[in-house]
Amino acid sequence: MGLQNWVMNTLPSTLITPHSGYHWDGSQRRFFEGWYYRVTLPELDQTFAFMYSIEDPIGGQPYSGGAAQILGPEDTYFCRTFADVRQFWSWGAPAGMGPLGLGHWSRGIPSLKPQLLAPDEFDRQINQGYQGTHTWHQGHLRDPGTGQTAHWAYRIQPIYAWGEVGKTPRSTAGLLSFLPIFEPGWQVMMAHGWATGWVDWQGQRFVFENAPAYAEKNWGGAFPQKWFWINCNCFENQPDLALTAAAGRRGVLWWMESVGLIGIHHRGQFYEFAPWNSEVSWSVTPWGEWTMTARNSEYAVEIWASCDRNGTPLRAPTQNGLIFICKDTMHGRVTLTLKRYHQQGTTLLLKAHSHLCGLEVGGGPWQTAWIAEEAMSPPLDAAPWGLAAT
């Protein structure tokens, strides 16, 4: 608890989003929670994406366990599973309130309860595992089958959470994401930040200072039936720009619905296009091209992204456990255009490009392009409809 209080006291509350804490309520219902850390190295045109998950943490269930997946240079893939859920820890509070903190070890240490450790103690004590907070991320893993290794440690300086700078951060999914009627939940915890440290990937060491960093999470009883994701905070000549966009077809009580969202942080401003304030449309092919547009009374945005690589299959929690059900790349091309309406017409606020964009498609079916036009949703008891879909 001492280290948890230290994290809380050293990070402004305006940089801790809702849902940063652990959501499991201790029940036996089917449950997963997943976390995503990323650091991009623009001078090398490479990215490291770390994906952690825990399923059925009560233990003793067919799919109880955890995993760490890493997407490394040139979209190479690494995965290590953790069978013992008792060696997983995370800071939690009702509805996920509180700071971010989690970790998982491959085997127990009789004299040590799973918890956040000082970095040097983690290196001394933990043979295999990981740990992360809002401001620190480290781990070391080895695949006994292939002999592949990954070792990393870096500190994080958050710049943007999710929402207006200097104000209380927002829930990415809207107010109703605090209720368990939308599954899964989704939260961007850090839309943009700077990472300084190193990653040792299969014996090759990558050292970086103030590299673009990003973090998000999801949780619930099921993944969406189908989804896509576009994310970039490493644009050409735009060091203070972050884009996150996604859409999913997910369950809401007894029906299914498709919802999409676009969020942009730029020069201290937050531009949000969501079902409760905008009309959002998209056209996404099974792989290779992503297009999203959105408009509201003040702004219009257009995103075009593409990838000529094959993409790397990744695992995601499902009703049948952790299986290959999505495909990613960290080498997507993206063009972002943002305009503002006024009486004389429109003004171009921003046009930006990147070739280091994260792109994903998941679920299915994906035989043809997914085309959707989404009108603004009416309020429900004066609360906005929420997105919980990636």
- The CATH number linked to 24 is 2.40.370
State whether 132 and 18 are in the same domain. Answer: yes
* Gap between the Cα atoms of 213 and 257, Å rounded: 31
Residues 125 and 173 occupy one common structural domain: yes
As given in the structure block, the two tokens for residue 210 are 């103030």
Q: Pairing state of beta strands 204-220 and 32-41?
A: antiparallel
- In this structure, what token pair is assigned to residue 196? 């300084």
Q: 105 and 206 share a domain? A: yes
Count of structural domains within the chain: 2
In a domain, 19, yes or no: yes
Do 250 and 109 sit in the same domain of this protein? no
Question: In this structure, is residue 273 part of a structural domain?
Answer: yes
Count CB neighbours of 150 within 10 A: 21
Q: Which domain holds residue 266?
A: 222-384
Q: Same structural domain for residues 339 and 261? A: yes
Q: Are residues 86 and 201 in the same domain?
A: yes
Q: Does 390 fall in a domain?
A: no
Closest by CA position to 331, among listed 40, 78, 50: 40
CA 76 – CA 70 distance, rounded (Å): 8
Are 201 and 279 members of one domain?
A: no
Query: Does residue 33 lie within any of the structural domains?
Result: yes
- pLDDT, residue 252, reads 60
Q: Are 220 and 388 in contact (CB under 8 A)?
A: yes
The predicted-structure confidence for 9-53, as pLDDT tens digits, reads as follows 578 888 999 999 999 989 998 999 999 999 999 999 999 999 999
Q: How many C-beta atoms lie closer than 10 Å to residue 371's C-beta? A: 11
pLDDT at residue 389 in the model? 32
- If asked whether residues 186 and 118 sit together in one domain, one would say yes
Note the pLDDT of residue 251: 64
| Statement to judge: residues 126 and 198 lie in one domain | yes
166: left (phi over 0), alpha (psi -120 to 50) or beta: left
354 contacts 234 by C-beta, under 8 angstroms: yes
- Judging by beta carbons within 10 Å of its beta carbon (0-12, 13-18, 19+), is residue 325 exposed, middle or buried? middle
Tell me the C-alpha to C-alpha distance, in Å, between residue 370 and each of 106, 310, 324.
Answer: 40, 19, 20
Closest-CA residue to 164 (of 37, 15, 63): 15
Phi, psi of 143 (to 5 degrees): -90, 110
Beta strands in 185-311 (DSSP E): 185-201, 204-220, 226-232, 241-252, 255-266, 269-273, 279-284, 289-295, 299-306
* Residue 231 in domain: yes
pLDDT of residue 2: 64
Within a domain: 389: no
Final residue before a domain boundary, out of 221, 246, 261 = 221
Alpha carbon distance 241, 363 (integer Å): 29
Sequence-distant (≥ 6) Cβ neighbours of residue 104 within 8 angstroms: 52, 54, 66, 68, 82, 87, 88, 89, 114, 129, 130
| Domain co-membership, 87 together with 196 | yes
- What pLDDT is recorded for position 344? 84
Q: Are residues 184 and 234 both part of a single domain?
A: no
Same-domain status, 254 and 166: no
- Last residue in a domain, options 177, 197, 221: 221
Predicted local distance difference test score (pLDDT) of residue 94: 72
The 10 Å CB-count burial string (b at 16+, else e) for 6-45 is ebeeebeeebbbbbbbbbbeeeeeebbbbbbbbbbbbeee
Q: What is the pLDDT of residue 382?
A: 32
Does any domain span residue 202? yes
Neighbours of 181 (CB within 10 A): 11
- Give per-10-residue mean pLDDT for the chain (390 aa): 62 89 92 97 98 97 97 97 96 82 90 94 95 97 92 97 92 63 82 98 97 96 87 97 92 68 96 93 97 96 98 93 96 98 91 98 94 64 33
Q: What is the pLDDT of residue 7?
A: 62
| Domain-ending residue, one of 221, 255, 274 | 221
Distances (CA, A) of 175 to 141, 221, 252, 261, 291: 38, 19, 15, 14, 27
- Give the closest residue to 18 by CA, choosing from 118, 163, 120: 163
C-alpha span between 310 and 361 (Å, rounded): 12
**pLDDT attached to residue 175:** 54
Query: Which tokens is 279 given?
Result: 């009309």
Is residue 108 in some structural domain?
yes
pLDDT digits (tens, 9 = 90+) for 43-79: 999 999 999 999 999 999 999 999 999 999 999 999 9
Phi, psi angle pair for 331, to nearest 5°: -120, 35
Q: What is the pTM of this model?
A: 0.93
* Cα→Cα distances 203→147, 148, 385, Å: 11, 9, 47
